[in-house]
Amino acid sequence: MSPYYTPPYDSPIEDKFAYHATKYLLQDLQFHTQYEVITICGKFVVDFVAISPSGKKIGIECDGKDFHNKARDEWRDAMIMGDDRLDSIYRLRGVDLTYFMNDVLYILSRCEPDLFSQRGHLNIETLASTEIQDIKVEKNQTTFYIQMKDDETDQISHILIERRHKNIPKGKQQFWQNLYAFAKSQNGGILDEIIATYKKNYI
């Protein structure tokens, strides 16, 4: 068992992710659970944060359908990213972690290769599906939406991974930057009040 796997966790989805992902991580990184960050809109807690030997901080959120507001999550991530608390945040759906764990880990390993050991990369690639291995992972990609087909039932499903990151080409923007700029223009404060003011002005 990996030394990074330290239950109990806050949810079954988080436990499932940690149990599988920690088998493949690099041995000399830091792996934190319930990682607290302070922003201009208060304190937030990230499910997992992996810190590479080079100091790169990667946040991972395991989103169960019943416990997350997608729009508010985007604002929350914007405050964390804007205040330079993390270099990237990945949002993983509970349904994908339940049915496509190896494929989700494959995407993560391609986006953040320095978090995984050499053996981990090899094992993940062996376990990942053909559909996933056939896709091209773009350096600046923010959304991964992959169609999966069950050959036995012909049922179609999809993997969805959202990524907020700072590797943004010059002259380009991600929407989280706009949200953070607005919050900063309001001098920060209570996030729900910032969101309400934004909606009043722009929606």
pTM (2 d.p.): 0.93
Count CB neighbours of 83 within 10 A. 17
Q: Please give the helix or strand (H or E) that residue 199 lies within, else none.
A: helix 191-202
Per-residue pLDDT tens over the stretch 133-184: 888 888 888 999 998 877 666 778 899 999 999 878 777 788 999 999 999 9
Query: What are the residues facing 143 on neighbouring strands?
Result: 162
pLDDT at 37 over 90: yes
- Which own/partner contact pairs does 67-75 have at CB distance under 8 Å and 24+ positions apart? 67/11, 71/195, 72/191, 72/192, 72/195, 74/175, 74/176, 74/179, 75/179, 75/183, 75/191, 75/194, 75/195
Retrieve residue 165's tokens: 């990151």
Instruction: Give the Cα separation of 156 and 11 in Å (integer).
Output: 27
The pLDDT of residue 90 is 97
In the numeric block, the tokens 């991600």 are attached to: 174
What is the C-alpha radius of gyration for the chain, rounded to an integer number of angstroms? 17
For 115, which DSSP code?
G
Per-residue pLDDT tens over the stretch 95-138: 999 999 999 999 999 999 999 999 999 999 999 998 898 888 88
Instruction: Give the Cα separation of 53 and 37 in Å (integer).
Output: 20
Single-letter residue type at 127:
L
CA distances from 98 to 9, 20, 49, 63 (A): 16, 11, 20, 11
Are the C-beta atoms of residues 73 and 40 closer than 8 Å to each other?
Answer: no
Q: Can you list the positions of beta strands (E) in 65-109? A: 88-93
Instruction: Give the Cα separation of 182 and 194 in Å (integer).
Output: 8
187 confidence band (pLDDT: 50, 70, 90): very high
CA distances from 184 to 63, 116, 171, 189 (A): 27, 35, 21, 9
67 confidence band (pLDDT: 50, 70, 90): low
